[in-house]
């Protein structure tokens, strides 16, 4: 068997090779191939046949017994060859399990004999055969990373990178692990696409498979256009609905699905929540060299999908209504989901500064996440971080690798009471990081994007202008609870009260039987990733107890 990657980008070839060797192109044993022969259908496929096409609805799992197939990225440049596979390789990608349409095309180049396995058959195999599950799920996950790094042209986002709409689109597809590429309209490839498709180079253009254009779409519009089949039908029923896919919500989804509960997770933006915007988490047990919040969340999502959990994203829960058999979750698109129990894990968001022109510069110099996407704007400039928590400290360390200098602005006298000591020590001893106590921002300056900020020392009253294209606001935490509209008891800051204070029968039950809360949105919770994961895993036992009682009542 040989399955070799062919990439158009020589710079990432070495990076891909290790991934290819270890996970992406793992093969099945003879016994596992025989197993699939008993599950699926053996077919002879002539050369020229498309096993599936990018964006198409037909998408099955294949084991190649003989012959040759090519993986093709639909693009206007060249033949778009990404890779090829022959005898004993298996064909498929994460979209098979998550319900997404394929991002590439698979074409039979030489007469082949294959085993066709439908999605339900593959799901049953993963549930019943852990050895095959380990091989297939690991390969699917790694193959998605390969597609991400090859910058597939199946989805092209064209527009100026300083445009907030372009940033929003890139953040959405990046955090949701949707293979894509960005084209600068001033680049040679960008100019050709602008001319060929008659695009407006000054706005957001989403180009699918080289020719289908969607201009200035919102996130749901992008999801719909690329066939992210992560929606659920109106009236879908589940044992457990998890609202929010941060660490707490993902843990609840993993444990709920693995313990036999039909589980659906609703997320309005991207998997990972606020933690997903962190460039590096170093104090999470089991990762001594650290892990990005996005990677940690991605692994959690893969785990939950492996056990059969469904995801509806981007979808926003806007109300909860009681029913005879649990709760109805009303979604922003008009659909309803019915669930016997609900775990609210909607987390928190950074508070916004009361600054003139703030909204104007959001996505154009003002950011609330610190990932590789935002890091590009720190090159050859100074970066400013506002905030004194761990997220701010991690952002400062990460951006110090890209910016000329990083300024950390805090209103208090120091960081020791708000930030982990290891981070404080690193910030204090870093030559390109300056901690500025008793300091806040008073003005933002720039034309179409941020160019300069004015800061003020509240003790001395002195002001200073700093030229910057990257301001990161990471202050405070406002809970996502407005949508509950008084359904559950909240504390004075808007966090959900649980346990005895709310009349709940368990630590995580709210004032409404059958509705539970975990993670940062819960009143009194410890605002740490590990704590949220622990709460999300523990709450499932209380969910089981509630559902058992509900079923007993008929």
Are residues 458 and 521 located together in one domain of the fold?
no
Cα separation, 231 vs 250, in Å, equals: 17
Q: What DSSP letter does each residue of 223-243 carry, written as one string?
A: HHHTT------TTEEEEEEEE
Cα separation, 270 vs 200, in Å, equals: 28
Q: What is the pLDDT of residues 70-127, one digit of tens each?
A: 998 876 555 678 888 888 899 999 989 888 888 889 999 999 999 999 999 999 999 9
Q: Token pair 């004999």 is at which residue?
A: 113
Last residue of a domain, one of 226, 246, 274: 226
Last residue of a domain, one of 226, 255, 281: 226
In a domain, 362, yes or no: yes
In a domain, 231, yes or no: no
User: Mean per-residue pLDDT for 51-56?
Assistant: 89
Confidence of residue 13 (pLDDT cuts 50, 70, 90): very low
Confidence of residue 26 (pLDDT cuts 50, 70, 90): confident
Cα separation, 30 vs 240, in Å, equals: 39
Number of domains in the chain: 4
User: Mean per-residue pLDDT for 303-322?
Assistant: 92
Q: What separation in angstroms does the CA of 330 have from each of 241, 266, 317, 550? A: 12, 11, 6, 21
How many CB atoms are closer than 10 A to CB 29? 12
Query: Given this model, what pLDDT does residue 277 score?
Result: 85
Cα separation, 297 vs 24, in Å, equals: 19
Q: Are 349 and 480 in contact (CB under 8 A)?
A: yes
Consecutive H or E run containing 297: helix 293-306
Residue 401 has pLDDT above 80, yes or no: yes
In a domain, 526, yes or no: yes
Q: Are 529 and 281 in contact (CB under 8 A)?
A: yes
| Secondary structure, 3-state, 108-155 | EEEEEEEEEECHHHHHHHHHHCHHHHHHHHHHHHHHHHHHHHCCCCCE
Consecutive H or E run containing 90: strand 90-91
Structure tokens at 478: 């406002």
Lowest mean per-residue pLDDT among 78-92, 311-325, 434-448: 78-92
Q: Token pair 């492996």 is at which residue?
A: 306
Lowest mean per-residue pLDDT among 237-241, 329-333, 484-488: 329-333
Residue 15 has pLDDT above 70, yes or no: no
Q: What separation in angstroms does the CA of 17 have from each of 3, 135, 143, 262? A: 12, 18, 12, 38
Are residues 410 and 520 located together in one domain of the fold?
no
In a domain, 402, yes or no: yes
Are residues 34 and 130 located together in one domain of the fold?
yes
Q: Are 243 and 263 in contact (CB under 8 A)?
A: no
Are residues 385 and 461 located together in one domain of the fold?
yes
Are residues 467 and 493 located together in one domain of the fold?
no
Last residue of a domain, one of 171, 206, 226: 226
Residue 266 has pLDDT above 60, yes or no: yes
Q: Token pair 């597939």 is at which residue?
A: 152
Confidence of residue 12 (pLDDT cuts 50, 70, 90): very low
Are residues 386 and 444 located together in one domain of the fold?
yes
Query: Given this model, what pLDDT does residue 225 score?
Result: 78
Give backbone dihedrals phi and psi of 150, rounded to 5 degrees, phi first: -85, 0
Give backbone dihedrals phi and psi of 413, rounded to 5 degrees, phi first: -85, -20
Q: What is the pLDDT of residues 488-511, one digit of tens each?
A: 999 999 999 999 999 999 999 999
Q: What is the pLDDT of residues 451-468, one digit of tens each?
A: 999 999 999 999 999 999
Confidence of residue 328 (pLDDT cuts 50, 70, 90): very high
Cα separation, 259 vs 174, in Å, equals: 30
In a domain, 232, yes or no: no
Query: Given this model, what pLDDT does residue 9 score?
Result: 39
Are residues 335 and 423 located together in one domain of the fold?
no
Q: How many CA atoms lie within 13 Å of 142's alpha carbon, on the beta-carbon side?
A: 20
Query: Given this model, what pLDDT does residue 5 score?
Result: 38
Q: What is the pLDDT of residues 142-151, one digit of tens each?
A: 888 888 887 7
Cα separation, 200 vs 244, in Å, equals: 36
Query: Given this model, what pLDDT does residue 7 score?
Result: 36
Are residues 287 and 185 located together in one domain of the fold?
no
Residue 129 has pLDDT above 90, yes or no: yes
Are residues 489 and 459 located together in one domain of the fold?
no
Cα separation, 471 vs 289, in Å, equals: 27
Cα separation, 143 vs 136, in Å, equals: 10
Structure tokens at 20: 């290819």
Q: What is the pLDDT of residues 210-242, one digit of tens each?
A: 888 887 788 888 887 777 654 555 567 899 999
Q: What is the pLDDT of residues 337-351, one digit of tens each?
A: 999 999 999 999 888
More confident residue, 82 or 22: 82
In a domain, 251, yes or no: yes
User: Mean per-residue pLDDT for 532-543?
Assistant: 97
Are residues 17 and 145 located together in one domain of the fold?
yes
Residues of the chain above pLDDT 90, percent: 65
More confident residue, 32 or 81: 32
Of the candidates 52, 529, 68, the residue with the CA atom closest to the CA atom of residue 292: 529
Q: What is the pLDDT of residues 351-397, one digit of tens each?
A: 899 999 999 999 999 999 988 889 988 988 999 999 999 999 999 99
* Helix, strand, coil shares, percent, the chain, to 5: 35, 30, 40
Are residues 63 and 145 located together in one domain of the fold?
yes
Length of the chain: 554
Which are the contacts of 111, defined by CB distance < 8 A and separation ≥ 6?
44, 45, 46, 47, 67
Domain that includes residue 451, residue range: 358-475
Cα separation, 22 vs 24, in Å, equals: 7
Cα separation, 455 vs 443, in Å, equals: 7
Q: What's the whole-number average pLDDT of the chain?
A: 89
In a domain, 161, yes or no: yes
Of the candidates 480, 451, 211, the residue with the CA atom closest to the CA atom of residue 345: 480
Are residues 75 and 193 located together in one domain of the fold?
no
Consecutive H or E run containing 83: strand 81-85
Q: What is the pLDDT of residues 152-172, one digit of tens each?
A: 778 999 999 888 999 999 999
In a domain, 307, yes or no: yes
More confident residue, 267 or 234: 267
The enclosing domain of 532 has a CATH number of: 3.50.50.60
Cα separation, 526 vs 48, in Å, equals: 58
């Amino acid at each position: 068997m040989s399955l070799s990657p062919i990439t158009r980008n020589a710079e990432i070839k070495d990076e891909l090779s290790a991934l290819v060797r270890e996970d992406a192109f793992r093969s099945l044993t003879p016994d596992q191939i025989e197993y699939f022969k008993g599950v699926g259908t053996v077919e002879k496929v002539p050369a020229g046949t498309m096993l599936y096409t990018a964006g198409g609805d037909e998408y099955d799992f294949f084991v190649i017994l003989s012959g040759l197939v090519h993986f093709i990225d639909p693009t206007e440049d060249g033949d778009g060859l990404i890779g090829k596979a022959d005898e004993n390789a298996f064909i498929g990608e994460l979209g098979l399990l998550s319900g997404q349409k394929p991002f590439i095309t698979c074409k039979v180049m030489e007469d082949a004999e294959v085993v066709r396995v439908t999605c339900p058959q593959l799901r049953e195999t993963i549930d019943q055969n852990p050895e095959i599950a380990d091989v297939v799920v690991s390969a699917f996950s790694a193959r998605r990373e390969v597609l991400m790094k090859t910058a597939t042209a199946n989805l092209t986002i064209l527009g100026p990178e300083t445009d907030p709409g372009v940033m929003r689109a890139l953040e959405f597809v990046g955090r949701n692990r949707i293979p894509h590429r960005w084209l600068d309209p001033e680049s040679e490839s960008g100019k050709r696409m602008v001319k060929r498709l008659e695009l407006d180079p000054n706005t957001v253009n989403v180009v699918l498979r080289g020719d289908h254009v969607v201009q200035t779409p919102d996130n749901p519009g992008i999801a719909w256009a690329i066939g992210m089949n992560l929606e659920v039908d109106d009236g879908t029923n589940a044992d457990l609905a998890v609202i929010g896919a941060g660490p707490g919500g993902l843990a609840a989804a993993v444990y709920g699905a693995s313990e036999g509960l039909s589980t659906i997770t609703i997320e309005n933006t991207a998997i990972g929540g606020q933690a997903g915007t962190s460039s590096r988490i170093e104090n999470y047990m089991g990762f001594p060299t650290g892990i990005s919040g996005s990677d940690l969340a991605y692994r959690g999502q893969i785990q939950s999908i492996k056990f059969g959990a469904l995801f509806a994203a981007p979808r926003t829960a806007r109300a909860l209504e009681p029913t005879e058999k649990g709760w109805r979750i009303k979604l922003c698109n008009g659909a309803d989901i019915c669930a016997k129990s609900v775990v609210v894990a909607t987390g928190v968001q950074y508070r916004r500064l009361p600054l003139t022109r703030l909204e104007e510069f959001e996505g154009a110099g003002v950011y609330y996440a610190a990932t590789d996407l935002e890091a590009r704007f720190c090159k050859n400039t100074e970066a400013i971080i506002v905030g004194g928590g761990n997220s701010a400290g991690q952002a400062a360390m990460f951006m110090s690798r890209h910016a000329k200098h990083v300024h950390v602005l805090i209103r208090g006298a120091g960081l020791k009471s708000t930030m982990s000591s290891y981070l404080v020590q690193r910030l204090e001893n870093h030559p390109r990081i300056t901690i500025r106590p008793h300091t806040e921002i008073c003005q933002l300056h720039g034309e179409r994007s941020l160019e300069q900020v004015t800061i003020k020392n509240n003790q001395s009253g002195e002001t200073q202008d700093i030229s910057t294209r990257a301001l990161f606001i990471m202050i405070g935490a406002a809970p996502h609870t407005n949508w509950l509209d008084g359904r559950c008891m909240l504390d004075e800051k808007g966090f959900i009260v649980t346990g005895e204070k709310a009349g709940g029968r368990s630590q995580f039950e709210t004032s409404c039987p059958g509705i539970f809360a975990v993670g940062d949105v819960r009143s009194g919770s410890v605002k740490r990733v590990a704590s949220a994961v622990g709460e999300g895993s523990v709450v499932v036992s209380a969910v089981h107890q509630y559902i058992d009682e509900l079923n007993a009542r008929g």
